[in-house]
Structure 1
């Protein structure tokens, strides 16, 4: 039987070690090192090298586990366990010398996430949890906020950079929240945004056009910290469904209904 607490501890150590490599390489990035995977979607040798380092370090922890990783450096699929990895969430921030940027690692057992680590590199903040445990930030238990309404909420989001089909309705929702919430923030790293919901810095977060490696660890942290997560339809297809809502339990219904009003037209 796998000891998830022990695996989580080792996963944190891997994230922190690779994070040091990422930070050390930041000053060495040149324009020629940046590849364009698509419009506004960038990758560097640091992303690819970091992913390889993470995967090689994770392999001994659960030998029969597979990998779902952003840069595709390993494509093995496990029967029961699969790691979901973003080696550098916030690459655009990273190449511009802007924060935040993070490593996101989740472990999926069958259809459930059972472990999540988000390491925000620039502030040296490691958010983590495993099945049956609270959520932690650098050893301290964290919880979602107690905001009870949109009016009392600071909201995190991200701007679409691939799929612009819903951009008009997204802007309408953004306008509503600018007027009716305590403010909107767009840090540029969905994994970090979700970790911030988990620790109460954000009261709510929503975004569409995301991939599993962007949200798997962070969404798990939100739930372990007492929060709620769903897709725009209010269902559970938020890891692979490319859209997510994450809030505390007190403002969840109002916020979900608000997102649905604009985004499900």
Structure 2
């Protein structure tokens, strides 16, 4: 290298993680302070798909915090994308070739937030050339910060997380979802719910994909499945599960990538059994 050539200053992954944690914590604190105070409520794709000015404000706050540190990074945030599946797919296609792409869901579980049901979260992921390298999910209601760095494990309250040990679906506590699309996606999910209910120990539908994934990573749920999600619902949580020793695929068993919309995340041991039940009940979403 010639002596007059500048050596680029390289930020370590820790800096990315610190910024993600800080953004999630600050946004979470602000969102919690707005509980029960949202003035305007509007719907996006259906009567079940809610958005408030709090979602939009939280996303702006997170964007500002990230861009202050990394002004040349790209950001894909739920509230900056037009409603609907086609728009989400198109926005991801445009963004996923970016060197560094932050993927944000400012409030995952807006319906819960609106009703005051304390199960909503902030999800922030960072992808490098399309591969998720940082995943942070913050639950303001319980003040729990779930953090994963690729290859370095996943943590909550600073303690290393590990998936649960159940070996059969009959022993498993499985999370499911009721999608906001009542016409196409809801019937698919209901078929899967009907098939899983008698096979699993019990089902839960908390209403936040990100928190479901965080709880699979923490060993509190044995698995989670839902059809019709977006990149910002899954990106951070998928890394948490993988770094906690679990397995994340699409509903056909193909490896997770940012374009996956039909997700199965488990402790690994139950994975094949869950995939079989979903396939047999025509609940893969494909």
TM-score class normalised by the smaller sequence: over 0.9
TM-score (structure 2 length as normaliser): 0.86
Question: 1:118-161: CA deviations, max 9, x gaps?
Answer: 00111111001112211000111111111101001000011121
Q: Secondary structure at the match of 2:44?
A: strand
Q: Secondary structure at the match of 2:43?
A: strand
Counterpart CA distance in 1 for 2:179 and 2:110 is 15
Counterpart CA distance in 2 for 1:211 and 1:173 is 19
- 1:1-265 aligned within 5 A: 1-30=10-39, 33-39=40-46, 40-72=48-80, 77=95, 79-162=98-181, 164-237=183-256, 239-262=258-281, 263-264=283-284
Structure 1: gaps of 5 or more residues: none
Q: Secondary structure at the match of 2:233?
A: helix
Count residues in correspondence: 262
Contact conserved, 2:251 with 2:275, CA < 8 A, in 1? yes
- Please provide the CA RMSD for this pair: 1.9
Q: Secondary structure at the match of 2:196?
A: helix
Structure 1 residue 231: Cα displacement: 0.6
Counterpart CA distance in 2 for 1:48 and 1:248 is 34
Question: Which of these two proteins has the greater Rg computed from alpha carbons?
Answer: 2
Contact conserved, 2:130 with 2:258, CA < 8 A, in 1? no
Q: Secondary structure at the match of 2:137?
A: strand
Question: 1:66-118: CA deviations, max 9, x gaps?
Answer: 01100118x89573000000000000000100020100000011121000000
Structure 2: gaps of 5 or more residues: 1-9, 82-90
CA distance 1:176–1:255, change in 2 (3 Å): same
Question: 1:28-84: CA deviations, max 9, x gaps?
Answer: 123xx11111211111111001000001101133332101100118x8957300000
TM-score (structure 1 length as normaliser): 0.93
Q: Secondary structure at the match of 1:59?
A: helix
